[in-house]
Amino acid sequence: MIEKDKTKIENAVHNIIEAIGDDPKRTSIQKTPARVASAYEEIFAETGKQHFEDYKIFNVAENAGMVLVQDIPFYSMCEHHLLPFFGTVNVAYVPQNGKIIGLSKIPRLVDFAARRPSVQENITVMIADELQRILKPKGVAVSISARHMCMEMRGINKSGLFTYTNKFLGNFSEDHELKNEFLQQTHQR
């Protein structure tokens, strides 16, 4: 984020504080506009980026089975209300031609998809599609479980609700045994 964009955010937050009836010059919130701009720089770090590029591909035995990284914590901001949602992501794939991605890159891919204004459904699809693009594996499975502050802090005001989304590509959409293995290992059956 460039400095002029941070200044735009600071000015907007200053105006919001004023619009809700508070005094932006009040000592305890004077620095809030700058703090929000800095937070947004991190929270929205991947906005506008189309493809995940921070990875290396490795080779393993041709007959490698399912690779699963589960319970990856994530957070994002709802594109409708700019309120947070957060939860966990499970990502699995079946390598093809012995090609795998470094395990640490899967949580980074999750962050890539989540650190932008979005909805849970789009994050689920983006993670699956990017892994498919990068590895061209036999199959990809992604599941997300998340709590949405746009449902807990406003609107229906119901706390503790979880939303579940899944995306299955290749073998995971065709092979019910493989899909069930993924769902069992991620406690979704």
Q: Is 14 a catalytic residue?
A: no
Query: Catalytic residue at 174?
Result: no
120 part of the active site: yes
Judge whether 80 counts as a catalytic residue: yes
From the candidates 70, 78, 152, 185, which is the catalytic residue?
Answer: 78
32-43 helix and 3-19 helix, angle to the nearest 10 degrees: 120
Q: Which of 57, 17, 65, 99 is nearest to 181 (CA)?
A: 65
Query: Is residue 51 annotated as involved in ligand binding?
Result: no
Q: Is 118 helix (H, G, I), strand (E, B) or coil?
A: strand
Catalytic residue (one of 10, 14, 130, 148) = 148
Q: Is 187 a catalytic residue?
A: no
Annotated active-site residue in 81, 96, 132, 152? 81
Catalytic residue (one of 62, 79, 121, 174): 79
For 10, 20, 69, 137, 157, the CA distances from 143, given in Å and listed in that order, are: 36, 38, 11, 17, 25
The one catalytic residue in 96, 132, 150, 185 is: 150
Q: Which long-range contacts (CB under 8 A, 24 or more apart) does 150-156 make?
A: 150/78, 150/80, 150/81, 150/83, 150/85, 153/83, 154/81, 154/83
* 79 is known as an active-site residue: yes
Q: Is 176 a residue of the active site?
A: no
8 Å CB contact between 67 and 99: no
The residue annotated as part of the active site, out of 80, 121, 174, 187, is 80
Q: Which residues define the annotated binding site for Zn(2+)?
A: 78, 81, 150
Residues marked as catalytic: 78-81, 120, 148, 150
Q: Which residues define the annotated binding site?
A: 78, 81, 150
